[in-house]
Amino acid sequence: MKFTPIVLASLLSTESSLAAPPVDSDGDGIPAHVDCDDSDPTVRRPLRQYLDSDGDGYGDRSTRVHHCGMLSGYVRNNLDCDDTDSSIGLPLRQWLDTDSDGFGDRTTRINDCEILSGYVTNRLDCDDSDSSIYPGAEETYDGLDNDCDGNVDDYATLYVTDVDYTFIGESAGDAVSGGKLVDDVNGDGTLDVLIEAPGSDLGGTDSGTFYLVTDFSSDTVSLGSAQARIIGSNSQNDFESAGDTNNDGYGDLLFGVYSDNAAYLFLGPLTGDVNFSSPDAMIEGEYMGGLAGYDISEGTDFNLDGYYDIIITDAYYGDTYIINGPVTTDINLSSANVKLSDIYMPGQAVSSADVNGDGYPDLIATSFYAVSGLFCTGDAFILHGPLSGTYGIADSDASIGSENDEANFGHEITTIGDTNNDGYDDILIGAGSDYVMGGSFYGSLNLMLGPISGNLTSPTDVDSYIIGDMEFGYYGHSYGDIDGDNNSDLLIQGSDEKTYVLFGPVSTGTIDSSEMDLTVEDYYITSGGRDFDGDGLDDLLLGDSDSDLGGTGSGAAYLLFGNNFY
């Protein structure tokens, strides 16, 4: 009989479908011939297992066996990298470290018994293409998260490598230590720079010189080519831009010389060499033997008559004076338009600000003595403008004192503009030895937000209590909107030639120097709060008395535009 292919295929299919299924008595899906116990559905195939010779819980992949029960000395895994050494177990998880900074890229994990070349055993790098970015790296001010903490430029350090202008001491030993951005002395429509060189010998050994720079055609200025030199100024204590005291369109300069019991006013324009002993106007102390000129303040139009006025203290007799502009000839402080005088001697430091928002500048003066009479505890007193006549501290609209004996509260006052942009000026008051820790005195800065009124106490009533070394309370406080957010930023001189920056609005409460938003290394702030280049951002003048650019110890100053912080 012959079968056609179709019939044959049909018969084969029928025969296959009639074959007996595999035996699976316990119904666990495992045929009986490979089931370790076909009567128990919980027992299935033989176990794959590996010899663990060193007893570390990890097996040798080359020793695989299958058995229905676990054999003695065997384990279920084959992960041991060396089964002769119990200290060596699982393969190491590792990540590629492309930039060789010791931290791996989390997307590159592999497992291997050996550390492969270029790999590390962590995955903590947040940018494996840049060796300067890794956990714990120094946070530098560059717009990057250098330390991988998720925050950009927090508590950062700025290393100034590219300044906008450099001012080099004229000679070795001049010790240029900075200066100030001052009003337009030569009338060309831009701010000018006044540089201090206390070690200059132009008028005799260490007689001192101030250099006025009004030509900025070169970004490197040797102070020997400055447009004006005020020679013989080593006895000065303070210097400020006086504004335009005679309203002639030129900025004027004011120098406080407490050793002469006087202040000296130089009217713009200034060119060539000027002798410090020949000012346009000398402001003499009211009393013989006084210390008039101990502190002076930047020019302010207190009575809003269009002329800048002069604020000056006598630290010996403890008086503060205001002389209304114009000032063009010598004058004695007995003729001052405003005088603040009291037995508690409010003549240590002085400034002005509109802390009550009425449009008139207010007078702020400090005393070494607290109202309690304790020497060197200190108080600050505020008189709201407009002002005329003689006042005592009982006439103050506000006072601020320290809770701590010998705090030197009020050693320095800085008007800092409006740090929180609420329409009221704020003030910063320094205390050089405000608290003791570990047997050492530490300074503080006390931020008071306007409006300010009543009798207040530091640190209880201050808005921000900024603590650091003694330098914090004594020197170099300034301000300026250097990051372009319309809030004033605090610029603080610390020790070791560092400048600290707190960007406004400044947080309230206690702030430690380690919590500064930015540290500028190797330079100290000498001036801020002025927009030199007209870009809407305030600029900084920094000092470096250790510079040797003009010879050993010549010193140098640097102008740094605000766009470095924007």
Domain extents in the chain: 5-75, 91-154, 239-257+274-336, 341-474
Q: How confident is the model at residue 235 (pLDDT cuts 50, 70, 90)?
A: low
- Kindly report, residue by residue over 157-194, the tens digit of the pLDDT: 666 677 899 999 999 999 998 899 999 999 999 999 99
Mean pLDDT of 230-254: 87
pLDDT of residue 258: 92
Of 48-57, 126-135, 402-411, the one with minimum mean pLDDT is 402-411
Of 42-56, 351-365, 402-416, 539-553, the one with minimum mean pLDDT is 402-416
Q: How far is CA 224 from the centre of its chain?
A: 33
Contact of 422 with 448, CB cutoff 8 Å: no
Contact of 389 with 383, CB cutoff 8 Å: no
Rounded-to-integer distance, Cα 311 and Cα 336, Å: 10
Mean pLDDT of 211-234: 93
pLDDT of residue 63: 94
The answer on pLDDT for 290 being more than 70 is yes
E strand or H helix that includes residue 182: strand 179-182
What's the burial of 218, exposed, middle or buried (CB within 10 Å: 0-12/13-18/19+)? Answer: exposed
Q: How far is CA 191 from the centre of its chain?
A: 25
Candidates 462, 342, 355, 431; CA nearest to 394 is 342
The answer on pLDDT for 213 being more than 70 is yes
Tell me the chain's radius of gyration from C-alpha atoms: 39
- Kindly report, residue by residue over 452-464, the tens digit of the pLDDT: 988 888 888 889 8
Mean pLDDT, the chain, whole residue set:
86
The residue that leads in pLDDT, 14 or 312, is: 312
E strand or H helix that includes residue 8: helix 5-17
Phi-psi region of 239 (alpha: psi -120 to 50; beta: other; left: phi over 0): beta
pTM score, two decimals?
0.76
Q: How far is CA 309 from the centre of its chain?
A: 33
Rounded-to-integer distance, Cα 282 and Cα 287, Å: 15
Q: What is the DSSP string of 518-559?
A: EEETT-EEEEEEE-SSSSSS-EEEEEETT--BTBTT-BEEEE
The answer on pLDDT for 8 being more than 50 is no
- 509 by DSSP, 3-state: which? strand
pLDDT of residue 234: 67
Mean pLDDT of 277-287: 95
Contact of 324 with 309, CB cutoff 8 Å: yes
Task: Provide the b/e sequence for 10-30 (b: ≥16 CB within 10 Å).
Answer: eeeeeeeeeeeeeeeebebeb
- Alpha carbon dihedral 335, 341, 343, 344, in 10-degree steps, equals -140
Rounded-to-integer distance, Cα 224 and Cα 554, Å: 12
pLDDT of residue 7: 46
Q: How confident is the model at residue 155 (pLDDT cuts 50, 70, 90)?
A: low
What's the burial of 93, exposed, middle or buried (CB within 10 Å: 0-12/13-18/19+)? Answer: middle
Q: How confident is the model at residue 475 (pLDDT cuts 50, 70, 90)?
A: low
Q: How confident is the model at residue 97 (pLDDT cuts 50, 70, 90)?
A: very high
How many residues does this entry show for the chain? 566
pLDDT of residue 490: 86
Count CA within 13 A, CB hemisphere, residue 210. 28
Q: What is the DSSP string of 65-132?
A: EEESSPPTTEES----S-TT-TT--SPEEEEE-TT-SS--BTT--EEESSPPTTEES---BS-TT-TT
Which residues on adjacent β-strands are paired with residue 531?
none
Q: What is the DSSP string of 365-377?
A: EEESS-TT--TTT
- Kindly report, residue by residue over 383-427, the tens digit of the pLDDT: 999 999 999 989 999 998 887 777 777 778 888 888 888 889 999
pLDDT of residue 275: 92
Mean pLDDT of 484-501: 80
E strand or H helix that includes residue 471: helix 471-474
pLDDT of residue 73: 92
In the numeric block, the tokens 């600000």 are attached to 353
pLDDT of residue 98: 94
DSSP structure class, residue 62: G
The answer on pLDDT for 563 being more than 80 is no
Q: How confident is the model at residue 451 (pLDDT cuts 50, 70, 90)?
A: very high
Candidates 529, 517, 525, 538; CA nearest to 498 is 525
Which residues on adjacent β-strands are paired with residue 197?
209
Residue 115 structure tokens: 């550390």
The answer on pLDDT for 3 being more than 50 is no
pLDDT of residue 225: 96
The answer on pLDDT for 64 being more than 60 is yes
Query: By percentage, how much of the chain surpasses pLDDT 70?
Result: 89
